[in-house]
Structure 1
Amino acid sequence: MRPVDVVTAGALEGSRPADSLLVWAWRGGQLVLDEPLDVVDWSFGDSAGGSVKIGQQVSLTVADPRGVLGAWRFDDALGVGGTELQIIYRVGGAGAINYGKFRITGNEPVEVVDWREIDEYGLDVPDSQLGPHRRKKAIVTAAVKLTAVDLTINPDRDKLEAPESPALAATYLTEVQRLLVNHFPVVVEAGVADAAIPRTTVYDRERLEAVQDILARRNARYRMGGDGELRVYPRISAPVWRVEPEKGMVSVSRKQVLDKLYNRWVVSGKDSGDGKPVTAVVSIDTGPLRFGGDHGRAQEFYTSDMIETYGQALAYGIQLRDEFLSSIAVEFEVETTPRPELQGGDWIDVGYPLTAGHVAYFPCQIVGISRSGAKVPAGTRITVQCSYNDMITALGRTEWAQYLTAGTPELIWDRMPSTWGRLPDLTWDDLP
C-alpha cells in the first residue's frame, strides 16, 4: 500500500471534495515542461502475481491547444526517448499521495487543423480571392494520447549480455539490489526473510525474470513504489483495509469457472535402469472435487526425463495435488469509492452481504486494480482472490454466528447446522 498521512487516510474514509491528478514530465532529473500536464481523461491499471513483470500501466489524454506536445523526435518533451511522468494523486480536502513514476511508451497526437482568414496589413497578393490584406492561417488544436508503464520497463529492456551467477557471499536480497543497481533503489518491506543464495544459481538473459525467481524462493514479490523505488513485499501479509457495504463499497460480485479444476495427476518418467516407463497417479479423494464424484474425472498429465523411479513420480504427484489444493481461489470483483493508496498485491478484507442478511468477511489479495476518470477521478474497481478454504471457513463462521441469539450454549449446540462438521477447529472462543 502507498504511504498515507493520518489526515489523508481519514479523508479517504469519508466524504470529501473532488480528487484530482497532478502530472509532471521529467527527463534526466529535469522538468521538460514548466507546467503540469492538463489531463482531460485517464485510466490506470495495476496487476500483481508471480508471472507479472510490469504491474502498472497508465493511459492519459492531455489537452494540447497549441499543438506542441505531439512528438516528432524521440527526445521531444513527451517523446518515448526517456521521458518519465511523475503522477501525484491529490485527495480532496486533504493531502497528496505519490502515485508513482512511469515511463512514456507511446505518444499519439490527435490534431485538428482549421484554416481561418486573418488580417495581415501590408500584404498584397494580386488576384487574391480573399481581398487585400487578407490571408489564411492554419489554427491547430490538439490532444495527445499517452501510454506509460512503471519503471520496471527499464530493467526489463536491459538484458543480461552473458550468463551470470551470484556474487561471493551474496544473499537473495543483495542479489536483487545488485541486478537493479543501475535502475532504482530497492526497499525491502517487513516480513521478507533473507538467506544465502546458492552459488550454483545461474541467470540467463532476462534480468527482471531473474529478480522474480530470486524473490519467489523467499515467498516474496516486487512492485514499484510512489517515489520510483522498487519495493519487495511478502506474498502473504495482514490486510491493510476492510471494505464493506455502506463503508466504501459500491458493489461486489463473484464468479466460478470450471477450467483447470483437476482432481487427478498422472506423472510419468523413465526408469534409470531399463528405461521402461514409470507412472504414478495421485487423486483428490474427498470433498466436492473428489475424483469420480459429482465433479467427475479431470486429469492433468506431467512427464519429465528427470523422474527415474516410481517413488519420484509419486512424490511429485503428491506435490502437484497439494499445491493445487492450496492455490484454489474464488475471484471477486469489488467496486469502491476512490482508493488511490491500494496497490496490486495488497491484502484486504472483503465484506460480502449474504442473502440471509448477514455479512461474511473474506481475506483476499488484490490481483488487479483499474481506475479511471476525466477531470474528476471515478471509483476504483478491484479484482481480488480469496482462498477457497478461507472462504468456506468464513461462511461457516457467519452461519455459526447466527445462533448467538439462541441464548444458552446448550440451545446453540442443539440448533447448530451441519456446517459445524466442516469446521472441527472452531471453538467457543472463536465466536465473532
Structure 2
Amino acid sequence: MRRIDQSTLDALDGSRPADTLTVWAWRGNELVVPEPLLIKSWSAGDEAGENVKIAQRVSFVFADPDGTLSAWRFDDPLGVGGTRLQVIYKVGGAGAVNYAWFRVTGNTPTEYRESRVIDEFGYEEPDGSLPIHKRRIWITTAAVAVTAVDITEFVDQDKLEAPESPGAGATVISEWRRLTGEYFPTVVDAGVTDRAVNRTLVYEKERLDGGQDLLARISARFRMGGDGEAHIYPRQGPLVWRCEPGKSLVNVSHSMGSGGLYNRWVVEGKESAGNPITAAVQLTTGPLRYGGPYGKAQYFYKSEMITTETDAINYAVTLREEFLGNLSIELDVEIAPRPELQAGDRIEVGCPVKGGHVAYLPGEITSIQRGGDPLPRGTALKVRCSYTDVVAALSRTEWAKHLTGSMPDLTWDLIPGTWGQLPDRPWDGL
C-alpha cells in the first residue's frame, strides 16, 4: 500500500472534487521538460505474483503543441535513453500520493497538420491557386503516446557478467540490497523475517531473478513504492482495507473454472534396483471427491529422486495439500479510484449475497487497472480469495441469517460473540 496521510485517506471515503495526475520527466537529477507534461489520456496496470518482475506499467498520450516531445534521438526529452517519469496522484480537495517512478520504453508521436491562408502583401504563391498577396501556412501539432515500466527494469537489464555467490554472513535481505542497491533503496515492511543465505548458492546471469528467488525463501515479494524505493513485503500480510458496498464498491462479480482441478495424485519413482514405485492419494470427501459427481481427475508426477514407497506417498500428500491450499475464487471488483492500493495488498471485499446479507471475503489483489482521459475513472481489481476463506465467510453469513432471522440489514459484523455457536469448521470436507 502506498504512503498516504490520514486526511487524504479520509477524503477518499467522501465526496470530493475530481482527482488529477501530475507527470514530470527526468533524466538523472535534472528535469528534461521544465513544466508538468500535459496529459490527454492515460492507463496504468499493476500485477502481483511469484513470477512477476516488472509489476507496474503505464501508458500516456501527451499533448505536444510545439513538437518538442516527439523523440527522434534516444536522449530527446521523452526518448528511451533513460528518461524517467515521476507520477503524482492528486486527490481532489486533499493531499497528493506519490504514485511511482517509471522508465520510458516507447515513444510514438502522431502529428496533425492543418493549413490556413493569411494576408501577406507582395507575396505570390508559385504555381499556386491562391491570389496574389495571399499565403498558405501549415501548422503542425502532435500527440505523443509514451509507454513506461517501473524502474526495476534497470535491474532486470543489468546482467551478472560472471557467476557470483553470497559473502560471509550474508542474509536474504543483505543479498537483495547488494544485487539491487545501485538502482534503488529497499524498505523492509512489517511481517518479513530475514534469514541467512548458504554461501554455496550461485547466481548465474539474472540479477533480478536471483533476488526474487531469495525473497521466496522467506515467503516475501518485492514491489516498488511511490518514491522510487523497493518494498519487501510478506506474501500473507495483514488486511489493509475493507471495500464496502454502497461506499467504495461499485460492482463485484466472481468466477470459477474446472481447469486445473484434480482429486487424485499419482507419484512415480524408481528403486535403486530399478524397480518402479507408484503411490497415490485422493480426496475422499467433499464436492471434488474422487469418483463423486466431479468424476476422476488424476495428476501425475514422476521423478527419479523418489526412491522408496514412503517418499512417493509423502510427496503425493504434499501435492494434495498444496492443491487444497491454492484453491481459490477470483473476484472482479470495480471501485471508485483508490490510488493508495497496490497489487499484492490484502483486502476484504463485501459481497452482497442472498437474503440481503453481506459476506466479507479476504483476498489478495493480483491485478489493478486504472485509467483516465485525463481525469481518473474507476479502478478495476482482480482479487484472489482462498476457497477455504470463501466457504468460511459464506458459512458465517448463512449462520448469522439463521440466528437473526431474515433481517436484510444485518451482517455478521453486527452480531458479536456468535462465532462459538457455529458448527465446528463448517467449511471442511473438500
1:401 aligns with 2:400: yes
Q: Per the alignment, in what secondary structure is the counterpart of residue 66 of structure 2?
A: coil
1:317 is matched by which residue type in structure 2? Answer: A
What residue number does 1:225 align with?
A: 225
Q: For residues 309 and 122 of structure 1, do their structure 2 counterparts lie closer, same or farther at Cα, with a shift above 3 Å needed?
A: farther
Confirm or deny: 8 A CA contact 1:366 1:382 kept in the other structure: yes
State the Cα RMSD in Å: 2.0
CA distance in 1, matches of 2:121, 2:277: 95
Question: What's the secondary structure of 2:4's corresponding residue?
Answer: coil
1:317-373 per-residue CA deviation (whole Å, 9 max, x = no partner) reads 111111111111100011111100000000111111012110011111100000111
Aligned AA for 1:324? F
Farther off after superposition, 275-284 or 162-171: 275-284
**Deviation of 1:379 (Å):** 0.8
SS in 1 for 2:254: strand
2:355 counterpart letter in structure 1: A
- Structure 1 residue 422, shift from structure 2 partner: 4.6
Decide whether aligned partners of structure 1 residues 194 and 126 sit closer, same or farther in structure 2, where only a CA change above 3 A counts.
closer
Separation in 1 of the partners of 2:353 and 2:404?
18
Letter in 2 for 1:423: P
Residues 133 and 306 of structure 1: CA distance in aligned 2, closer, same or farther (over 3 Å): farther
Q: Write the distance in 1 (CA, Å) between the matches of 2:337 and 2:282.
A: 45
Q: Match of 1:302?
A: 301
2:347 is the alignment partner of 1:358: no
- Tell me how far apart the structure 2 counterparts of residues 361 and 264 of structure 1 sit (CA, whole Å): 32
What is residue 429 of structure 1 aligned with on the other side? none
Q: Which amino acid aligns with 1:298?
A: A
Amino acid at match of 2:339: P
Task: State the AA in 2 paired with 1:90.
Answer: K
Counterpart position of 2:382 = 383
The 2-side partners of 1:126 and 1:49 are apart by 65
For 1:80-99, what aligned pairs fall within 5 Å after superposition? 80-99=80-99
Residues 56-78 of structure 1 show CA distances to partners (whole Å, capped at 9, x for unaligned) of 11011111122221111111100
Partner Cα separation in structure 1 for residue 80 and residue 126 of structure 2: 46
Counterpart contact for 1:251–1:334, Cα < 8 Å: yes
Letter paired with 1:314: I
Matched, 1:315 2:318: no
* Aligned position for 2:333: 334
Distance 2:23 2:289 in 1: 54
Write the distance in 1 (CA, Å) between the matches of 2:342 and 2:308.
45
2: CA distance, partners of 1:324 / 1:47: 22
Amino acid aligned to 2:301: Y
Matched-pair contact (CA < 8 Å) for 1:45–1:368: yes
Shift of 1:126: 6.0
User: How far apart are residue 287 of structure 1 and its match?
Assistant: 1.6
Query: Is 1:39 matched up with 2:42?
Result: no
Q: Which residue of 2 aligns with 1:423?
A: 426
Structure-1-length-normalised TM-score: 0.92
Q: How far, CA to CA, are the matches of 2:300 and 2:241 in structure 1?
A: 40
Contact 1:336–1:381 (CA<8 Å) still a contact in 2? yes
CA contact (8 A) 1:399 1:419 kept: no
Q: Which amino acid aligns with 2:340?
A: E
Contact 1:396 1:420 in 2 (8 A): no
Q: Which residue of structure 2 lines up, in the alignment, with residue 173 of structure 1? A: 173
Name whichever of 258-267 and 275-284 sits farther off. Answer: 275-284
> 1:348 and 1:127 mapped to 2: Cα distance?
70
Deviation at 1:276, TM superposition (A): 2.6
Distance 1:319 1:171 in 2: 28
What is the identity, as a one-letter code, of the residue corresponding to 1:316? Y
Which shifted more, 352-361 or 119-128? Answer: 119-128
Q: Are 1:57 and 2:57 counterparts?
A: yes
Query: Unpaired runs of 5+ in structure 2?
Result: 406-420
Choose 89-98 or 63-72, whichever is displaced more: 63-72
Question: After the TM superposition, which residues 247-262 of structure 1 pair with which residues of structure 2 at under 5 Å, given as runs?
Answer: 247-262=247-262
In 2, Cα distance between equivalents of 1:115 and 1:278: 81
Residue deviations 1:408-430 (CA, integer Å, cap 9, x gap): xxxxxxxxxx98365399xxxxx
Equivalence for 1:411? none
| Equivalent pairs, count | 414
| More displaced stretch, 159-168 vs 371-380 | 159-168
Contact 1:40 1:374 in 2 (8 A): yes
1:103-128 CA-partner distances (Å, limit 9, x unpaired): 11111101112244344556566665
TM-score, normalised with respect to structure 2: 0.92
Q: Report the residue type matching 2:396 in the other structure.
A: R
Quick one: distance in 2 between partners of 1:377 and 1:337?
9
Task: Specify the alignment match of 1:15 in structure 2.
Answer: 15
Deviates more, 1:224-233 or 1:259-268: 259-268
Separation in 2, partners of 1:392, 1:404: 18
